[in-house]
Amino acid sequence: MTENNNPLLCDPVEGICGIPDSSSNTKIANQKTEKPVKVIYFTDPICSSCWGIEPQLRKLKLEYGDSLEIEYRMGGLLPDWNYNSGGISKPSDVARHWDEVSVYYDMPIDGDIWLEDPLHSSYPPSIAFKAAQMQDNEKSILFLRKMREMVFLQKRNIAKWENIAAAAKNVGLNVEQLKADFEEKANALFEEDLKLAKQFGVRGFPTLFFTNNSGKKEIVYGSKPYSFYETAVLKLDPSVTRMEYGKNWETLFAKYHSLTAKEFSELSGAFRNESEKLLSQLSDKGTLEKLSTKNGALWKRKAPNR
Protein backbone atom coordinates (compact mmCIF):
# COMPACT_ATOMS: atom_id res chain seq x y z
CA MET A 1 0.00 0.00 0.00
CA THR A 2 1.14 3.54 -0.67
CA GLU A 3 1.98 5.42 2.47
CA ASN A 4 -0.32 8.35 3.06
CA ASN A 5 1.69 11.47 3.75
CA ASN A 6 -0.88 13.94 2.55
CA PRO A 7 -1.79 16.34 5.38
CA LEU A 8 -5.35 16.90 4.20
CA LEU A 9 -6.15 13.19 4.12
CA CYS A 10 -6.93 12.86 7.82
CA ASP A 11 -7.22 9.52 9.57
CA PRO A 12 -10.49 9.65 11.52
CA VAL A 13 -9.70 6.46 13.45
CA GLU A 14 -6.43 7.90 14.76
CA GLY A 15 -7.96 11.37 14.82
CA ILE A 16 -4.97 12.92 13.07
CA CYS A 17 -4.46 15.22 10.10
CA GLY A 18 -0.94 14.38 8.99
CA ILE A 19 1.35 11.65 10.27
CA PRO A 20 1.84 11.36 14.05
CA ASP A 21 5.29 10.23 15.09
CA SER A 22 4.67 8.86 18.56
CA SER A 23 8.05 7.14 18.60
CA SER A 24 10.05 10.37 18.39
CA ASN A 25 12.14 11.25 21.42
CA THR A 26 10.64 14.67 21.89
CA LYS A 27 12.32 16.99 24.35
CA ILE A 28 10.26 19.81 25.74
CA ALA A 29 11.90 22.71 27.46
CA ASN A 30 10.76 23.08 31.04
CA GLN A 31 8.69 26.24 30.91
CA LYS A 32 7.59 27.45 34.33
CA THR A 33 3.96 28.51 34.60
CA GLU A 34 1.78 29.86 37.35
CA LYS A 35 -0.69 27.03 36.79
CA PRO A 36 0.05 23.37 37.58
CA VAL A 37 -0.20 22.13 34.00
CA LYS A 38 0.70 23.72 30.68
CA VAL A 39 -0.71 22.52 27.36
CA ILE A 40 1.01 23.33 24.07
CA TYR A 41 -1.61 22.72 21.41
CA PHE A 42 -0.43 22.37 17.80
CA THR A 43 -3.33 22.95 15.44
CA ASP A 44 -4.38 24.51 12.12
CA PRO A 45 -7.49 26.51 11.15
CA ILE A 46 -8.53 23.95 8.48
CA CYS A 47 -7.64 20.78 10.42
CA SER A 48 -10.83 18.69 10.48
CA SER A 49 -9.52 16.50 13.30
CA CYS A 50 -8.93 19.67 15.35
CA TRP A 51 -12.55 20.64 14.74
CA GLY A 52 -13.34 17.13 15.95
CA ILE A 53 -11.82 17.75 19.40
CA GLU A 54 -13.67 21.01 20.08
CA PRO A 55 -16.22 19.24 22.35
CA GLN A 56 -13.49 17.61 24.45
CA LEU A 57 -11.31 20.73 24.57
CA ARG A 58 -14.21 22.93 25.64
CA LYS A 59 -15.09 20.51 28.42
CA LEU A 60 -11.47 20.36 29.56
CA LYS A 61 -11.44 24.15 29.88
CA LEU A 62 -14.65 24.12 31.90
CA GLU A 63 -13.53 21.39 34.28
CA TYR A 64 -9.82 22.17 34.63
CA GLY A 65 -9.41 25.70 33.31
CA ASP A 66 -8.15 27.00 36.66
CA SER A 67 -5.31 24.46 36.57
CA LEU A 68 -4.42 24.73 32.87
CA GLU A 69 -2.50 27.18 30.75
CA ILE A 70 -3.20 26.38 27.08
CA GLU A 71 -0.85 27.79 24.47
CA TYR A 72 -2.09 27.63 20.87
CA ARG A 73 0.53 27.04 18.16
CA MET A 74 -0.08 26.88 14.42
CA GLY A 75 1.24 23.84 12.57
CA GLY A 76 1.06 24.77 8.88
CA LEU A 77 -1.16 22.00 7.53
CA LEU A 78 -1.43 23.17 3.90
CA PRO A 79 1.45 25.29 2.55
CA ASP A 80 0.18 25.02 -1.04
CA TRP A 81 -0.89 22.45 -3.64
CA ASN A 82 2.56 21.56 -4.97
CA TYR A 83 2.27 17.88 -4.15
CA ASN A 84 0.40 14.77 -5.20
CA SER A 85 0.12 12.11 -2.54
CA GLY A 86 -2.31 9.99 -0.58
CA GLY A 87 -4.99 10.18 -3.25
CA ILE A 88 -5.37 13.95 -2.89
CA SER A 89 -3.71 16.13 -5.51
CA LYS A 90 -6.24 18.93 -5.94
CA PRO A 91 -8.84 20.71 -3.81
CA SER A 92 -11.83 18.78 -5.19
CA ASP A 93 -10.30 15.58 -3.79
CA VAL A 94 -10.81 16.93 -0.26
CA ALA A 95 -14.58 17.44 -0.62
CA ARG A 96 -15.70 13.85 -0.12
CA HIS A 97 -13.08 13.27 2.57
CA TRP A 98 -14.39 16.17 4.67
CA ASP A 99 -17.94 14.86 4.34
CA GLU A 100 -16.77 11.47 5.59
CA VAL A 101 -14.87 12.77 8.62
CA SER A 102 -17.84 14.98 9.48
CA VAL A 103 -19.92 11.85 10.04
CA TYR A 104 -17.12 10.14 11.96
CA TYR A 105 -16.56 13.03 14.39
CA ASP A 106 -20.27 13.93 14.54
CA MET A 107 -19.28 17.55 13.92
CA PRO A 108 -20.80 19.50 11.00
CA ILE A 109 -18.39 19.90 8.07
CA ASP A 110 -19.49 20.73 4.53
CA GLY A 111 -16.84 19.54 2.10
CA ASP A 112 -18.39 21.44 -0.79
CA ILE A 113 -16.14 24.43 -0.08
CA TRP A 114 -13.42 22.51 -1.91
CA LEU A 115 -15.65 22.45 -4.99
CA GLU A 116 -17.03 25.98 -4.73
CA ASP A 117 -14.30 28.23 -3.28
CA PRO A 118 -11.22 26.15 -2.36
CA LEU A 119 -8.40 27.44 -0.20
CA HIS A 120 -4.96 27.67 -1.80
CA SER A 121 -3.24 27.39 1.60
CA SER A 122 -3.91 27.35 5.34
CA TYR A 123 -1.04 29.77 5.94
CA PRO A 124 -3.04 33.04 5.65
CA PRO A 125 -5.54 32.17 8.42
CA SER A 126 -2.69 30.76 10.52
CA ILE A 127 -0.71 34.00 10.22
CA ALA A 128 -3.90 35.96 10.96
CA PHE A 129 -4.29 33.95 14.17
CA LYS A 130 -0.77 34.91 15.24
CA ALA A 131 -1.65 38.55 14.52
CA ALA A 132 -4.77 38.15 16.68
CA GLN A 133 -2.67 36.71 19.52
CA MET A 134 -0.58 39.88 19.44
CA GLN A 135 -3.72 41.89 20.23
CA ASP A 136 -5.63 39.74 22.70
CA ASN A 137 -5.10 36.07 23.52
CA GLU A 138 -8.68 35.39 24.56
CA LYS A 139 -10.09 37.07 21.46
CA SER A 140 -7.64 35.14 19.30
CA ILE A 141 -9.22 31.87 20.46
CA LEU A 142 -12.68 33.22 19.63
CA PHE A 143 -11.28 34.35 16.28
CA LEU A 144 -9.96 30.86 15.52
CA ARG A 145 -13.32 29.37 16.42
CA LYS A 146 -15.12 31.84 14.17
CA MET A 147 -12.82 31.08 11.23
CA ARG A 148 -13.45 27.37 11.71
CA GLU A 149 -17.20 27.87 11.72
CA MET A 150 -16.86 29.88 8.53
CA VAL A 151 -14.79 27.28 6.67
CA PHE A 152 -16.43 24.09 7.99
CA LEU A 153 -20.08 25.17 7.99
CA GLN A 154 -20.47 28.30 5.88
CA LYS A 155 -18.12 27.26 3.06
CA ARG A 156 -16.24 30.55 3.26
CA ASN A 157 -12.65 30.65 2.09
CA ILE A 158 -10.71 31.83 5.15
CA ALA A 159 -7.53 32.26 3.12
CA LYS A 160 -9.16 35.40 1.67
CA TRP A 161 -8.62 38.61 3.58
CA GLU A 162 -12.25 39.73 3.44
CA ASN A 163 -13.32 36.60 5.34
CA ILE A 164 -10.46 36.89 7.82
CA ALA A 165 -11.46 40.51 8.44
CA ALA A 166 -15.12 39.54 8.92
CA ALA A 167 -14.16 36.96 11.53
CA ALA A 168 -11.92 39.47 13.31
CA LYS A 169 -14.64 42.11 13.40
CA ASN A 170 -17.14 39.55 14.72
CA VAL A 171 -15.04 38.86 17.82
CA GLY A 172 -14.08 42.46 18.50
CA LEU A 173 -10.52 42.58 17.19
CA ASN A 174 -9.06 45.75 15.71
CA VAL A 175 -9.14 44.86 12.02
CA GLU A 176 -6.74 47.59 10.90
CA GLN A 177 -4.17 46.53 13.48
CA LEU A 178 -4.69 42.91 12.54
CA LYS A 179 -4.02 43.74 8.89
CA ALA A 180 -0.81 45.57 9.75
CA ASP A 181 0.45 42.76 11.97
CA PHE A 182 -0.67 40.14 9.45
CA GLU A 183 1.53 41.74 6.81
CA GLU A 184 4.54 42.20 9.07
CA LYS A 185 5.26 40.86 12.57
CA ALA A 186 2.86 37.89 12.57
CA ASN A 187 4.79 36.15 9.79
CA ALA A 188 7.83 35.78 12.04
CA LEU A 189 5.65 34.45 14.87
CA PHE A 190 4.15 31.87 12.53
CA GLU A 191 7.63 30.80 11.44
CA GLU A 192 8.51 30.35 15.12
CA ASP A 193 5.51 28.04 15.51
CA LEU A 194 6.62 25.97 12.52
CA LYS A 195 10.13 25.68 13.94
CA LEU A 196 8.78 24.67 17.35
CA ALA A 197 6.54 22.02 15.78
CA LYS A 198 9.57 20.60 13.99
CA GLN A 199 11.62 20.73 17.18
CA PHE A 200 8.91 18.86 19.07
CA GLY A 201 8.62 16.24 16.34
CA VAL A 202 5.03 17.16 15.49
CA ARG A 203 3.85 15.45 12.33
CA GLY A 204 0.10 15.51 12.78
CA PHE A 205 -2.69 17.67 14.16
CA PRO A 206 -4.07 17.99 16.72
CA THR A 207 -1.11 17.26 18.98
CA LEU A 208 -1.27 18.35 22.61
CA PHE A 209 1.78 18.36 24.86
CA PHE A 210 0.91 18.43 28.58
CA THR A 211 3.78 19.44 30.90
CA ASN A 212 4.23 20.39 34.53
CA ASN A 213 6.81 22.51 36.32
CA SER A 214 8.88 19.42 37.12
CA GLY A 215 9.40 18.74 33.42
CA LYS A 216 7.19 15.68 33.21
CA LYS A 217 5.10 15.35 30.05
CA GLU A 218 2.13 13.58 28.56
CA ILE A 219 1.28 13.69 24.86
CA VAL A 220 -2.16 13.19 23.33
CA TYR A 221 -2.19 12.71 19.57
CA GLY A 222 -5.36 13.30 17.66
CA SER A 223 -9.06 13.31 18.40
CA LYS A 224 -9.54 11.07 21.41
CA PRO A 225 -12.32 10.59 23.97
CA TYR A 226 -12.40 13.17 26.76
CA SER A 227 -10.87 10.78 29.29
CA PHE A 228 -7.54 10.83 27.43
CA TYR A 229 -7.13 14.58 27.95
CA GLU A 230 -8.35 14.49 31.54
CA THR A 231 -6.01 11.61 32.36
CA ALA A 232 -3.05 13.56 30.97
CA VAL A 233 -3.80 16.41 33.36
CA LEU A 234 -4.27 14.16 36.38
CA LYS A 235 -1.09 12.19 35.70
CA LEU A 236 0.91 15.41 35.84
CA ASP A 237 -0.84 16.75 38.92
CA PRO A 238 -3.19 14.37 40.78
CA SER A 239 -4.03 17.16 43.23
CA VAL A 240 -5.92 19.32 40.74
CA THR A 241 -9.66 19.36 41.29
CA ARG A 242 -12.41 19.21 38.73
CA MET A 243 -14.50 22.35 38.70
CA GLU A 244 -18.26 22.12 38.75
CA TYR A 245 -20.13 24.15 36.15
CA GLY A 246 -23.72 24.74 35.14
CA LYS A 247 -24.88 22.22 32.56
CA ASN A 248 -28.17 23.80 31.52
CA TRP A 249 -28.43 25.35 28.10
CA GLU A 250 -28.57 28.94 29.38
CA THR A 251 -25.25 28.60 31.23
CA LEU A 252 -23.50 26.75 28.43
CA PHE A 253 -24.56 29.25 25.76
CA ALA A 254 -23.49 32.10 28.05
CA LYS A 255 -20.01 30.56 28.13
CA TYR A 256 -19.80 29.36 24.53
CA HIS A 257 -21.94 31.42 22.18
CA SER A 258 -22.18 28.64 19.60
CA LEU A 259 -22.51 24.89 20.10
CA THR A 260 -23.04 21.83 17.96
CA ALA A 261 -25.24 19.00 19.21
CA LYS A 262 -22.11 16.93 19.89
CA GLU A 263 -20.61 19.76 21.91
CA PHE A 264 -23.80 20.31 23.87
CA SER A 265 -24.03 16.60 24.61
CA GLU A 266 -20.39 16.48 25.80
CA LEU A 267 -20.74 19.55 27.99
CA SER A 268 -24.21 18.91 29.42
CA GLY A 269 -23.95 15.16 29.89
CA ALA A 270 -27.22 14.67 28.01
CA PHE A 271 -27.61 11.92 25.45
CA ARG A 272 -26.74 12.97 21.92
CA ASN A 273 -30.27 12.58 20.51
CA GLU A 274 -31.79 14.41 23.46
CA SER A 275 -29.32 17.24 22.97
CA GLU A 276 -30.27 17.75 19.34
CA LYS A 277 -33.96 17.57 20.20
CA LEU A 278 -33.64 20.26 22.87
CA LEU A 279 -31.56 22.56 20.69
CA SER A 280 -34.02 22.18 17.80
CA GLN A 281 -36.92 23.00 20.12
CA LEU A 282 -35.13 26.14 21.30
CA SER A 283 -34.46 27.22 17.73
CA ASP A 284 -38.08 26.52 16.76
CA LYS A 285 -39.16 28.83 19.60
CA GLY A 286 -36.79 31.51 18.35
CA THR A 287 -34.58 31.34 21.45
CA LEU A 288 -31.57 30.05 19.51
CA GLU A 289 -30.47 30.55 15.93
CA LYS A 290 -29.77 27.41 13.94
CA LEU A 291 -27.25 27.20 11.13
CA SER A 292 -27.96 24.02 9.16
CA THR A 293 -25.60 22.27 6.78
CA LYS A 294 -25.93 19.02 4.85
CA ASN A 295 -23.86 17.34 7.57
CA GLY A 296 -25.29 18.77 10.78
CA ALA A 297 -26.01 22.06 12.47
CA LEU A 298 -24.67 24.74 14.78
CA TRP A 299 -26.79 26.63 17.30
CA LYS A 300 -26.14 30.18 18.49
CA ARG A 301 -27.60 32.31 21.25
CA LYS A 302 -29.71 35.06 19.73
CA ALA A 303 -28.46 38.57 20.24
CA PRO A 304 -30.78 40.59 22.52
CA ASN A 305 -33.05 43.15 20.89
CA ARG A 306 -31.97 46.71 21.44
Q: pLDDT tens for residues 108-119?
A: 999 999 999 999
Which of 204, 237, 268 marks a domain boundary? 204
Structural domain contains residue 238: no
As a whole number of angstroms, the distance between CA 28 and CA 194 comes to: 15
Same domain for 195 and 265, yes or no, is no
Confidence at 27, pLDDT banded by 50, 70, 90 = low
Domain count, the chain: 2
Name the average pLDDT for the chain.
92
Identify the domain boundary among 173, 204, 235. Answer: 204
For residues 256 and 198, membership in a common domain is answered with no
Whole-number pLDDT of residue 306: 46
The predicted model scores a pTM of 0.93
Q: What is the CATH number of the domain that holds 141?
A: 3.40.30.10
Question: Are residues 50 and 191 part of one domain?
Answer: yes
CA–centroid distance for 98 within its chain: 15
Residue 170 to residues 25, 139, 143, 304, Cα–Cα distance (Å)? 41, 10, 8, 16
Which whole-number Å values give the CA distances from 190 to 123, 193, 236, 278, in the listed order?
9, 5, 29, 41
Is the Cβ–Cβ distance between 240 and 37 less than 8 Å?
yes
Q: Does 19 fall in a domain?
A: no
Residues 118 and 261 in one domain: no
Give dist(CA 95, CA 108) in Å, integer.
13
Is the distance from CB of 260 to CB of 107 less than 8 angstroms?
yes
Domain end (from 204, 238, 270):
204
Instruction: State the Cα–Cα distance between residues 295 and 102, nearest whole angstrom.
Output: 7
Same-domain pairing of 124 and 269: no
Range(s) of the domain holding residue 119 = 31-204
Sequence-ordered list of residues with C-beta below 8 angstroms from that of 70, at least 6 positions apart, any chain: 38, 39, 41, 61
Residue 81 confidence class, pLDDT cut points 50, 70, 90: confident
Residue 25 has pLDDT above 50, yes or no: no
* Of 53, 55, 70, the residue nearest 10 (C-alpha): 53
Task: Mark whether 189 and 41 lie in a shared domain.
Answer: yes
Give residue-wise pLDDT tens across range 125-138.
999 999 999 999 99
Beta-bridge partner residues of 208:
41, 220
Element of type H or E holding 68:
strand 68-74
Residues 63, 189, single domain; the answer is: yes
- 154 within 8 A of 170, measured Cβ to Cβ: no
